[in-house]
């Protein structure tokens, strides 16, 4: 927790550090108010924006739909020109930009220019990466972009647990790269990026949390624990995201098998929904039970092809709520579908449109 003078310093820096400081602060205040009122049409614009620079991935993460070979939209990457236009457009209100969604950001050949471009507009910037495409010789280059937050998908502190989640990749190589980045940061006397080891707690690594703490300390980085998403919401669909032939009894069996294979035994690291499913023979609880979500009031996800998703759990292209290459971000932010999503959350009432994702969402990344 930051102390009070530290907080004031941060607010002051944000206000004065960019020509957009004041407009971002006013926008954030409007967003906070609208979030409380839960209005459907929003005057305030999203403060947190993810830009998926590419949806290609070189990872093999066992619980990721991309690595599973699921296809929703074609694979590709955003062009440098479209990226700059987009960042120019959101600069007046965005306070946080994450340059990733589905896919590996370091596969975009202009990723360093992109981070630099966002940072030049004094926007807090983050990437999440598996580091497989990273070369240790680029460590200083990465630090010099000004990136604020670097999350590294690690998910294991031994080759065995690491490879249980990311087969065909080696932990020792990734650790060498992390060390190179932390050393470059200290060599350059830079406070950034904050480096975090992301650790999805699962059946294979749950006994390693103490070791993770030691590892992070020895590398001079932080870590965070994440609840596993089993992506059960995608089970009824085939690789092309078309409904497959599977009855409820079969889906129940598949849900239980996934829970048995992956969920940690320690319930403290498990979304309560999964416990419900385990205790009810694989059946899903009624939608709305634990439903709380504020995402469509302050954040948005822009895919590489301009399509806009409601949250990072949205995978199917048909759930997109607009396209920012065809219309302005402001227009999409208040599109019919975006408003329907907000209405669906506020009223817990089925919207008439079958593609409003929030209608069926339990409020976690199921
Ligand atoms: C889909 S990844 C894409 C970015 C990049 N390729 C990476 O590996 O970090 C984005 C984030 O989603 C998280 N993630 C992926 N699969 C997950 C799962 N099954 N449960 C929870 N988080 C997950 C990762 O830890 C990562 O921080």
Mean pLDDT of the chain: 92
Q: Which atom of ligand 1 approaches the CA of 227 most closely?
A: 21
From the CA of 183, how far away is ligand 1's center (Å)? 25
Q: Please report the sign of the dihedral spanned by the C-alpha atoms of residue 12, residue 13, residue 14, residue 15.
A: positive
Q: What residues form DSSP beta bridges with 4?
A: none
The listed range with the strongest mean pLDDT (14-23, 126-135, 272-281) is 126-135
Closest protein CA for atom 16 of ligand 1 = 64
Using the predicted structure, report yes or no on whether residue 122 has a pLDDT greater than 60: yes
Within 6 A (CB) of ligand 1 lie 57, 59, 61, 63-64, 100, 102, 104, 128-130, 151, 153, 198, 200, 226, 228-229
Closest protein CA for atom 24 of ligand 1 = 153
Q: In the chain, which residue ranges form alpha helices assigned H by DSSP?
A: 4-16, 21-37, 80-90, 111-120, 139-144, 159-165, 171-187, 209-219, 248-262, 272-279, 295-298, 329-333, 336-347
Using the predicted structure, report yes or no on whether residue 129 has a pLDDT greater than 50: yes
Using the predicted structure, report yes or no on whether residue 291 has a pLDDT greater than 80: no
pLDDT in tens, 319-360: 999 999 999 999 999 999 999 999 888 876 666 666 778 877
Across residues 251-265, what is the average pLDDT? 95
Q: Which atom of ligand 1 approaches the CA of 100 most closely?
A: 4
Give Cα separations from 125 to 32, 120, 128, 149, 194 (angstroms): 21, 10, 11, 6, 11
Higher pLDDT, 27 or 9: 27
Closest protein CA for atom 27 of ligand 1 = 128
Helix (H, G, I), strand (E, B) or coil at 323: strand
- Is residue 13 very low, low, confident or very high in pLDDT (cuts 50, 70, 90)? confident
Higher pLDDT, 228 or 53: 53
> How far is residue 364's CA from residue 135's CA, in Å, rounded to a whole number?
35
From the CA of 3, how far away is ligand 1's center (Å)? 31
> How far is residue 191's CA from residue 172's CA, in Å, rounded to a whole number?
25
Residue-level pLDDT at 288: 61
From the CA of 98, how far away is ligand 1's center (Å)? 13
Task: Dump the DSSP string for 82-142.
Answer: HHHHHHHHHTTT-SEEE--SSS-GGGSTTHHHHHHHHHHTT-EEEEEE--TT--GGGHHHH
From the CA of 347, how far away is ligand 1's center (Å)? 30
Tokens coding 35:
């979030």
> How far is residue 183's CA from residue 175's CA, in Å, rounded to a whole number?
12
pLDDT in tens, 204-246: 999 999 999 999 999 999 999 999 999 998 999 999 999 999 9
Instruction: Return the biggest CA–CA distance within the chain.
Output: 59
* Angle, alpha carbons 288-349-254 (nearest 5°): 45
From the CA of 248, how far away is ligand 1's center (Å)? 28
The preferred substitution site among 111, 226, 311 for testing ligand 1, maximizing ligand atoms within 8 Å of CB, is 226
User: In this prediction, what percent of the chain has a pLDDT beyond 90?
Assistant: 77
> How far is residue 143's CA from residue 228's CA, in Å, rounded to a whole number?
30
- Least confident among 57-66, 215-224, 290-299, 334-343: 290-299
Across residues 179-183, what is the average pLDDT? 98
Closest protein CA for atom 18 of ligand 1 = 229
From the CA of 153, how far away is ligand 1's center (Å)? 7
> How far is residue 283's CA from residue 256's CA, in Å, rounded to a whole number?
9
Q: Which of 86, 14, 82, 85 is nearest to 50 (CA)?
A: 86
Residue-level pLDDT at 1: 41
Across residues 41-68, what is the average pLDDT? 96
Q: Which atom of ligand 1 approaches the CA of 130 most closely?
A: 8
Characterize 275-288 residue by residue with b for buried, 16 or more Cβ atoms within 10 angstroms of its Cβ, and e for exposed. Answer: eebbeeebebeeee
From the CA of 226, how far away is ligand 1's center (Å)? 10
Across residues 249-263, what is the average pLDDT? 95
């Amino acid at each position: 927790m930051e102390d009070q003078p530290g907080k004031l310093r941060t607010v002051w820096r944000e206000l004065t550090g960019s020509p957009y400081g004041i407009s971002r602060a006013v926008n954030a205040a409007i967003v906070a108010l609208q979030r409380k009122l839960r209005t459907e049409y929003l005057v305030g614009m999203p403060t947190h924006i993810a830009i998926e620079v590419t949806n290609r991935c070189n990872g093999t993460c066992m619980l990721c739909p991309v690595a599973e070979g699921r296809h929703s939209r074609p694979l590709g990457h955003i062009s440098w020109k479209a990226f700059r236009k987009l960042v120019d457009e959101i600069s007046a209100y965005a306070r946080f930009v994450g340059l990733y969604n589905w896919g590996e950001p370091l596969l975009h050949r202009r990723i360093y220019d992109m981070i630099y471009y966002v940072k030049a507009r004094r926007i807090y910037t983050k990437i999440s990466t598996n580091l497989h495409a990273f070369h240790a010789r680029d460590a200083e280059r990465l630090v010099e972009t000004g990136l604020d937050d670097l999350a590294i998908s690690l998910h294991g502190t031994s080759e065995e647990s690491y490879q249980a989640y990311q087969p065909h990749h080696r932990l020792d190589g990734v650790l060498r790269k992390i060390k190179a980045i932390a050393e470059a940061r200290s060599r350059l006397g830079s406070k950034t990026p904050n480096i975090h080891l992301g650790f999805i707690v699962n059946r294979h690594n749950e006994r390693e949390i103490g070791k993770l703490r030691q590892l992070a300390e020895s590398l001079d980085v932080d870590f965070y624990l994440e609840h596993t998403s089993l992506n059960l919401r995608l089970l009824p669909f085939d690789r092309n995201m078309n409904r497959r032939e599977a009855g409820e009894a079969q889906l129940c069996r598949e849900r239980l098998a996934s829970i048995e294979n992956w969920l940690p035994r320690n319930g403290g690291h498990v979304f309560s929904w999964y416990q419900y499913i385990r205790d009810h023979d694989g059946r899903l609880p009624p939608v709305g039970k634990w439903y709380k979500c504020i995402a469509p009031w302050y954040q948005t996800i822009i895919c590489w092809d301009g399509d806009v998703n409601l949250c990072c759990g949205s995978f199917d292209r048909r759930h997109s709520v607009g396209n920012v290459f065809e219309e302005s971000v402001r227009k999409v932010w208040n599109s019919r579908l975006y408003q329907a999503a907000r209405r669906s959350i506020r009223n817990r009432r089925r919207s008439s449109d079958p593609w409003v994702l929030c209608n069926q969402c339990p409020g976690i990344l199921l």
